[in-house]
C-alpha cells in the first residue's frame, strides 16, 4: 500500500511539473502543483515522508523499550533508542527543512554550492552513522539486515548521492530544466522508498524477533 502511494505521488509530481510548465495559467494549477510537488515544502509528499520517518522512529523506540524489558543487552537497546531519536530528528528536518537553511549558511563564506552545501556535513553524518551502527547492524537477524541495508542505500542514494548530482547539474545548466526536474523527483522518490523499506523491516523485527510481550504485539501486528 505504501509503495503504491509513493508511486502515485511520484507520477503526479512529474505530471504536474510538465503540466505547469506548458499550461502555466490553468485555473488552480499552481495550487495543485504545489500540493503534490516532491520538491516543495509543507505539502502532501512532505507530510507523507515526515510521517514515515516519525513512524520509523517510534517503532525503533518501541523495540528499544520492549527489548530492554525482555533482557536485551544495554548496547542493543541503546542503539535502537539512538536510531529512534535520529529518525525523529530527521522527520522534524523533513518538515522544517533545517538542512537547506544549514546549506545556505555554510555556502555564505564560499559561494560554491548554495543550499546544496549541506551535503558536506551530511556526508560526514553518514560516515559517522555507518561507523557507529556497524557492529549493531551485524548483530541483527539476516532478514532484518537486508531490509535495513536496502533502506539505507535507497535513502542515502537519494538524499546525498542524487543531491550531489543535482547540485552539479544545476551549476552546469544554470536552471532546473528537464534533467533537474527528473533528478529532483527521483531523489525524493528514493528517499520515500527507503523510509518505507525501513518501516517494513522494523515491523518484521517486531513481529518475528521480539519475545516480550508476545501477546500484546500479536494483537497489534498479527500472528
Per the model's pLDDT, the better-predicted residue between 96 and 214 turns out to be 96
Whether 21 maps to a domain, the answer reads: no
% residues pLDDT > 70 (the chain):
74
The answer to whether position 206 is within a domain reads yes
pLDDT tens, residue by residue, 19-44 = 877 777 766 667 888 899 888 888 99
Which pLDDT belongs to residue 27? 65
More confident residue, 94 or 110: 94
Q: How confident is the model at residue 146 (pLDDT cuts 50, 70, 90)?
A: very high
Q: Among 34-48, 135-149, 173-187, which stretch is predicted with the lowest mean pLDDT?
A: 173-187
Asked if the structure places residue 78 within a domain, the reply is: yes
Residue 107 lies in a domain: yes
In the predicted model, is pLDDT for residue 221 greater than 60?
Answer: no
- Asked if the model's pLDDT at residue 9 lies above 60, the reply is yes
Instruction: Judge whether 4 lies within some domain.
Output: no
The DSSP code sequence of 37-80 is -TTSSSSHHHHHHHHHHHHHHHHHHHHHHHHHHTT--HHHHHHH
> In this predicted model, what pLDDT tens digit does every residue of 51-94 receive, in sequence order?
999 999 999 999 998 875 555 555 688 999 999 999 999 999 88
In a domain, 189, yes or no: yes
Of residues 49 and 70, more confidently modeled: 49
Its pTM stands at 0.85
Residue 209 is part of which domain span? Answer: 46-221
- Calculate the dihedral angle through the C-alpha atoms of 69, 71, 86, 154, rounding to the nearest 10 degrees: -120
Higher-pLDDT residue of 115, 219: 115
Q: Looking at the domain assignment, is residue 188 inside a domain?
A: yes
More confident residue, 134 or 41: 134
Number of domains in the chain: 1
5 occurs within a structural domain: no
Reduced DSSP (H G I as helix, E B as strand, rest coil) percent helix, strand, coil of the chain, to 5: 85, 0, 15
Amino acid at each position: 500500500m505504501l509503495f503504491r502511494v509513493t508511486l502515485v505521488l511520484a507520477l503526479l509530481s512529474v505530471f504536474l511539473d510538465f503540466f505547469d510548465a506548458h499550461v502555466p495559467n490553468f485555473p488552480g494549477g499552481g495550487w495543485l502543483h504545489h500540493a503534490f510537488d516532491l520538491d516543495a515544502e509543507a505539502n502532501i509528499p512532505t507530510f507523507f515522508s515526515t510521517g514515515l520517518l516519525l513512524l520509523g522512529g517510534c517503532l525503533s523506540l518501541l523495540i528499544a523499550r520492549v527489548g530492554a524489558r525482555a533482557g536485551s543487552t544495554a548496547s542493543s537497546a541503546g542503539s535502537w533508542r539512538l536510531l529512534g531519536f535520529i529518525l525523529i530528528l530527521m522527520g522534524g528536518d523533513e518538515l522544517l527543512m533545517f538542512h537547506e537553511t544549514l546549506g545556505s549558511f555554510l555556502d555564505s563564506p564560499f559561494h560554491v554550492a548554495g543550499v546544496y552545501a549541506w551535503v558536506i556535513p551530511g556526508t560526514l553524518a553518514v560516515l559517522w552513522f555507518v561507523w557507529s551502527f556497524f557492529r549493531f547492524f551485524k548483530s541483527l537477524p539476516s532478514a532484518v539486515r537486508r531490509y535495513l541495508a536496502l533502506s539505507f542505500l535507497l535513502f542515502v542514494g537519494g538524499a546525498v548521492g542524487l543531491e550531489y548530482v543535482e547540485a552539479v547539474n544545476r551549476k552546469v545548466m544554470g536552471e532546473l530544466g528537464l534533467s533537474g526536474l527528473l533528478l529532483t523527483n527521483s531523489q525524493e522518490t528514493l528517499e520515500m522508498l527507503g523510509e518505507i523499506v525501513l518501516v517494513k523491516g522494523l515491523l518484521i523485527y517486531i513481529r518475528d524477533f521480539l519475545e516480550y510481550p508476545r501477546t500484546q504485539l500479536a494483537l497489534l501486528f498479527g500472528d
